[in-house]
Every structure is written in C-alpha cells, then in structure tokens.
Structure 1
Amino acid sequence: MVAETKLYTALGIKPEATQDEIKKAYRKSAMKHHPDKNPNNPQANEKFKEVSQAYEILSDPEKRKTYDQYGLEFLLR
C-alpha cells in the first residue's frame, strides 16, 4: 500500500506501474505540457514541472520506495 498517490496521478498511472510505463507516461505528458509547446500558458509550465518531479522520483527505485512508504513531504525534507 502506498502512503500517497499524487505523483502517480500527475503522470496518469497506477501505483503498480512498471518502469517502462512510468517512462512512457512521462514522455507523453512532458511533450504535451512542455513550455516551448505552450508559450502563452503558464499552467502548462507548472504541469511540466510537476510531471518532471514525478518522473525524477518514480523512475528511481529507492526514491520511489521511500515515496510509497512515507509520501512526498518526507522525501523533500
């Protein structure tokens, strides 16, 4: 059981997702929300930062394990 699912939701995946699924979801979302593709949309820039942070954490097995056990706040301290 995971403590929090915010990062999984940001990428549109389930907590059981494989590394390949995480990578695929990140690429799709990053392309969609990239600031260069949305120069007049500040919300796209924020979403891009959110999915980038989600990928950074979920693509690293140790960070992902810590996130799943304790949540995002614990990781960011």
Structure 2
Amino acid sequence: MADKRDYYEVLGVGRTATEDELKKAYRKLAKKYHPDTNPGDKEAEAKFKEASEAYAILSDPDKRRQYDQFGHSAFEGGAG
C-alpha cells in the first residue's frame, strides 16, 4: 500500500500525544467503524483496520520511535 496516511492523522492526534490520548482516539474510531457496528460496509471496515494498524504502531514505544524517525518505510518489507 503505497499511499498510507500518516498514523497520527489517522487517529486525529498530534505527534506529542500521550499514551492515554492515543488510546482514547483509537477507541473512539474503533467504536465508530467496527465491523459489528457497520455490517457489510467495506469503507468502515477499511477505516477500522487503518485505525487498528496506526494504534498498534503508535502504542508501542519502540515502534513509535521507529515510525517517528523513518515513517512507514520502517515497517515495509524488502530490506536487503
């Protein structure tokens, strides 16, 4: 996926967001776009997955540090 949005933008938080702010933003989006809340809605499903991916990276201090330094390229395969 070449055109990934900035993870902070996905969650609607700033780069200095605390762990609690990240969690709150993620939970709000997860509740809004969860597949159980939006059955059959592919766009909502995609937004839910995007928010989940963003939270998985930003909630992990090591992954967040890598993301802040290298962006999405820190997690793309093909190192070689």
Give 4+ residue runs of structure 1 displaced > 6 Å after superposition: none
TM-score by length of 2: 0.86
Rg larger in structure:
2
User: Which fold has the larger relative contact order, with Cα–Cα distance below 8 Å and residues 6 or more apart in sequence?
Assistant: 1
TM-score by length of 1: 0.89
Q: Which runs of 5+ in 2 are unaligned?
A: none
- Work out the CA distance in 2 between the residues paired with 1:23 and 1:64: 14
Q: In the alignment, what sits opposite 1:48?
A: 48
- Work out the CA distance in 1 between the residues paired with 2:76 and 2:30: 22
CA RMSD, 1 decimal: 1.1
Identity %: 53
Matches within 5 A, 1:1-77: 6-77=6-77
How many residue pairs get aligned? The number is 73
Q: Which runs of 5+ in 1 are unaligned?
A: none
